[in-house]
Amino acid sequence: MRRVASILIAVGFCLGLAACAPAQPKSVTPMPQVVESSPAEAGAQDATVSGTAADDVCATASQSGDAGVCVLEAVNETAALSFTGYRVVKLIGGSYDGAVEIIGAEQVVVTGASMASDITIDARNAVVKMSTIGGSLSVAGGRGATVIENTIGGNLVCADDAEVRGNSVGGDTACAARN
């Protein structure tokens, strides 16, 4: 019931934004609301968003005007988010109640964020620092990762060449870390 109410609020919010938005000079095809996401162009900035897809959140709250780049600062999100197809994803501050998955990005930065659930990152470069993660943190990808000064309630699993230091981990740590 709570999830249905959140979806209805998000749909109403999106419809309100669409009605107030200036006309676009190019043709825009409406995207269906889905859990998996692809790059969305950034729109209005809002500090509190309650959508079900990363595209919706990025479209309404991203600090970047570039397609393929989602920069969320001080956003409070209740739904699980899956960022797929973005070049850059930055979660700076804010709180995220649902699981967060960031797949295929070139650059990911999570700093000062409060994550109530698991966060999974598979990116070329990833930095996770000074964040509180209630669940597990899994970081994989190409060139490496930096995981420093986080509080992690669950497990920490990271890439072989990750820099890992100063973390408080409640579960197991599986990292062949370069310190």
Task: Please state the pTM of the whole predicted model.
Answer: 0.69
Task: Retrieve residue 93's tokens.
Answer: 């501050």
What is the average pLDDT across 28-57? 43
Q: 115: buried, middle or exposed (CB in 10 Å: 19+, 13-18, 0-12)?
A: buried
Hey, what amino acid is at 20?
Answer: C
In a domain, 30, yes or no: no
- Number of structural domains (the chain) is 1
In a domain, 179, yes or no: no
In a domain, 111, yes or no: yes
Q: What is d(CA 164, CA 167) in angstroms, rounded to the nearest whole number?
A: 7
The percent of residues in the chain predicted with pLDDT above 90, rounded, is 53
In a domain, 147, yes or no: yes
In a domain, 160, yes or no: yes
Q: 73-124, pLDDT tens digit by residue?
A: 999 999 999 999 899 999 999 999 999 999 999 999 999 999 999 999 999 9
In a domain, 45, yes or no: yes
Lowest mean pLDDT among 9-18, 63-72, 95-104: 9-18
**Full domain range(s) for residue 79:** 2-25+35-174
In a domain, 68, yes or no: yes
Q: pLDDT at position 7, please?
A: 54
In a domain, 166, yes or no: yes
Tell me which residue has tokens 């780049």: 69
